[in-house]
Amino acid sequence: MTRGETSPIALLTPKGAAAEEIARHLMMLIGNGTIAVGNKLPTEQTLSRQFGVSRTVVREAISRLKSDGLVQSRQGSGVSVVPASLRKSFKLQDAALDRRQVIALLELRQPLEMASARLAAARHTAKDLRKIVDAQQRMQSSLDWSDEGLQADLDFHHAVAKATGNHFYADFMAFLGGALRATILTARSESKNPNIKAITLQEHAKIIEAIKARDADAAGHAMLLHLQGASFRMAPP
């Protein structure tokens, strides 16, 4: 094995995901400190040989890291790792949501959802409220609880977040919803409880009622109960 034996990536990668694979690899190397902050990545040519792909592919991978603010490049010098405090994106590595991670993520979501409900109660417009109620009705009339129903469920929470008037709430809630979507889906399909839909609708109704009454405390409390209930139904301890 004197040289460049075929890459571990170029071959077993479906096709067209080479850059993604390499980006993941480099992210890992940076994440666990193998390439420390301030240090330089191997040169593009080195990486292209290591992975058995062209420099173009390597450059596309590095471009992703730059986009996340993980590295910066200077022509003639190289690509160096930037401090964590300058990272520009918050992202979850997709396939890594095991049970513990899901619980942790739900724990992050809870205070945000509560604050979201409180702010929505205080600030919502008539239009915001219509959107919330609409999502609730779509959920109620959904025939498919797993798919159409889930979408309406996520839409409900997204609509509440939008009613805060703070687009960061809306964006982040949409992000979290998407991240949890697959997990919720499988949890629902595995669940034997036939009353989940009715219970969920009832909990949502309480939230709507409180928001409508512009009662922030009640809205936050209703949201907390809903999340705790949903969390329990999804993954009983």
Partner DNA sequence: CACGATTTGTACGTATGTATC
Partner DNA sequence: AGATACATACGTACAAATCGT
Which of DNA, its own copies, none does residue 134 bind to, with CB < 5 to 8 Å depending on kind?
A: none
Minimum distance from CB of 74 to DNA (Å)? 5
| Residue 15 within binding range of its own copies, rule CB under 8 A | yes
According to CB under 8 A, which one of 1, 3, 38, 94 is a site residue for its own copies? Answer: 94
What is the C-alpha separation between 103 and 232, in angstroms, rounded?
Answer: 11
Distances (CA, A) of 181 to 8, 43, 78, 118, 203: 32, 39, 39, 24, 19
Q: What is the C-alpha end-to-end distance of the chain, expressed in Å? A: 51
133 binds, among its own copies, DNA, none (CB under 5 to 8 A by kind): none
Q: Is 171 in the site for its own copies (CB under 8 A)?
A: yes
Of 211, 74, 33, residue with least CA distance to 130 = 211
User: Is position 88 an interface residue for its own copies (rule: CB under 8 A)?
Assistant: yes
Residues 6+ apart with CB under 8 A from 39: 80, 81
DSSP helix/strand/coil, 6:
coil
111 contacts 201 by C-beta, under 8 angstroms = no
Among 108, 185, 198, 225, indicate the residue that binds its own copies (CB under 8 A). Answer: 108
Helix axes 55-67, 18-31, angle to 10 degrees: 50
Distance of alpha carbon 41 from alpha carbon 79, whole angstroms:
6
Q: Which stretch binds its own copies (CB under 8 A): 38-46, 105-113, 132-140, 184-192?
A: 105-113
166 binds its own copies (CB under 8 A): yes
Q: Is 61 in the site for its own copies (CB under 8 A)?
A: yes
Residue 4 binds its own copies, judged by CB under 8 A: no
Cβ proximity to its own copies: between 129 and 224 the closer is: 224
Distance, in Å, from the CA atom of 220 to the CA atom of 122, rounded to the nearest integer, reads: 11
**Site residues (vs DNA, CB under 7 A):** 10, 13, 15-19, 40-41, 43-45, 52-57, 59, 62, 73-79
Chain residues binding its own copies by CB under 8 A are 15-16, 19-20, 23, 56, 59-61, 63-64, 66-68, 73-75, 84-92, 94, 104-105, 107-108, 110-112, 114-115, 119, 151, 154, 166-169, 171-172, 174-175, 177-178, 181
